Amino acid sequence: MFGRIDGEFVVFLIGMRINNLWKIHKWFPTVMAMPRMLKELMQNKERGFLNAHAWFGRTTIMVQYWRSFEHLEAYAKDKDAEHFPAWKKFNLKVRDSEAVGVWHETYKVSEGNYESVYVNMPPFGIGKAGKRLSATEIYDSARGRMKYN
């Protein structure tokens, strides 16, 4: 199997790092903000959010897939959505404490510039955010999958 998303899309990596475990009152609100955002995004697909996967530890990472950078940016700046007030609260109450760090990276992906493969995997990554396709002989190599995209 391999994954495909028609047209351009955005991969958004976002996460946080707990720098001071004992300052739970500082980092816990940051932890709790993301589930509210994800719930909102999953209920409002017109915002352009396609899917996400997360891994947890002292440093967390979430991989998100978005229809476009414009969708991602519009959500980040929407004062009526969950993100903007959470970001404002973080900056006012937590940023200077150094108890928790936040980070993100954004990548615009165009057709023909990515490939994926899934063997014995449930829907995951691009294959969950977009479509899962059978890897026939022509698409049974990274080069073949790159040509497909």
Domain assignment present for 48:
yes
Domain assignment present for 95:
yes
Domain assignment present for 49:
yes
Q: Give me the domain span that covers residue 82.
A: 2-109
72-109 tens-digit pLDDT: 999 999 999 999 999 999 999 888 889 999 999 999 99
Domain assignment present for 43:
yes
Contact 9, 109 (CB under 8 A): yes
Tally of structural domains, the chain: 1
- The pLDDT assigned to 36 comes to 96
Domain assignment present for 55:
yes
Domain assignment present for 138:
no
Distance, in Å, from the CA atom of 107 to the CA atom of 115, rounded to the nearest integer, reads 15
Asked if the model's pLDDT at residue 138 lies above 60, the reply is no
Per DSSP, the residues of the chain read -EEE-SS-EEEEEEEEEES-TT-HHHHHHHHHHHHHHHHHHHH-GGG-EEEEEEE-SSB-EEEEEES-HHHHHHHHH-TTSSHHHHHHHHHHHTGGG-SEEEEEEEEEE-TTS-----SS--S-THHHHSEEE---GGGSSHHHHHHH-
Domain assignment present for 58:
yes
Domain assignment present for 92:
yes
Q: What CATH number should be reported for the domain holding residue 39?
A: 3.30.70.100
4-60 tens-digit pLDDT: 899 999 999 999 999 999 999 999 999 999 999 999 999 999 999 999 999 999 999
Say whether pTM exceeds 0.85.
yes
